[in-house]
Amino acid sequence: MTSAMTIERMPDAESLSPRYVMYRPADAGARPVLGWPLILFLHGSGERGDDIDLVRRYGLPARIEAENVDLPAIVIAPQCPLEARWTDHLPALNDLLDHGLAAQPVDPNRVIVTGLSMGGQGAWALSAQQPDRFAAIAAVCGRIPEQPGWPEAVCVLKDKPIWIFHGDADSRVPVEQSIILAETLRSCGGDPRLTIYPGVGHNAWDRAYAEPDLLPWMLAQRR
């Protein structure tokens, strides 16, 4: 049985699309005492705009729907406005997480952020801005945030479980971007997991989100 998918509306959304995709476990009666893990998924640049179905096309939402995954977690997947980037809307993403934590039966100590391409960059920027909020980060072919202090700013995440994915034939976001972030984390005492796919171009997300260990790894993390 697949997770139950709905399209929700966030009240008072100022800069994100007010609608977002949400997946809930099919068996609500099996909810853990402390609540479900909450996974925030950030899509890539091609899924921006106002067609909410684009959010379901790639990455974690696509795997949940294509494989009928009943994930024991709540997944929230918002949509970035056209001609914008996630790094332009970090306050709105934090507001969305606040809304999800208040409105859904989730464990605030088990919040994970993941994203692909532009969403991978957003996952880096958001988690570094609010490191105490997240239990883990999974970034797929994400560019180093183009903000002051990077890549050294990633060191605030050195104690977090982090899994990074990239294809070594990526001509859009060079694999060196992920390598630099991983090496910077290691230089300041972190221990990120780095998976590089030989011969894979920009679309590392099909391989990454199909990794059999990824979802169990996410669900095992606790702040």
Residue 14: is its pLDDT beyond 60?
A: no
Backbone angles phi, psi at 28, to 5 degrees: -65, -25
- pLDDT for residue 28 is more than 70: no
C-alpha–C-alpha distance, residues 22 and 193, integer Å = 27
Decide if 163 contacts 114 (C-beta within 8 A): no
pTM (whole model) above 0.85: yes
Instruction: Estimate the crossing angle of helix 118-129 against helix 90-103, to 10 degrees.
Output: 80
Topology of 4-220 in CATH? Rossmann fold (3.40.50)
Mean pLDDT over 193-198 rounds to 98
Task: Give me the percent of the chain exceeding a pLDDT of 70.
Answer: 95
Mapped onto helix, strand or coil, the DSSP state of residue 76 is strand
Question: For the chain, which residues make up each domain, given as ranges?
Answer: 4-220
Residue 68: what pLDDT? 85
Cis peptide before 151 (omega within 30 of 0): yes
pLDDT tens readout for residues 132-146 = 999 999 999 999 999
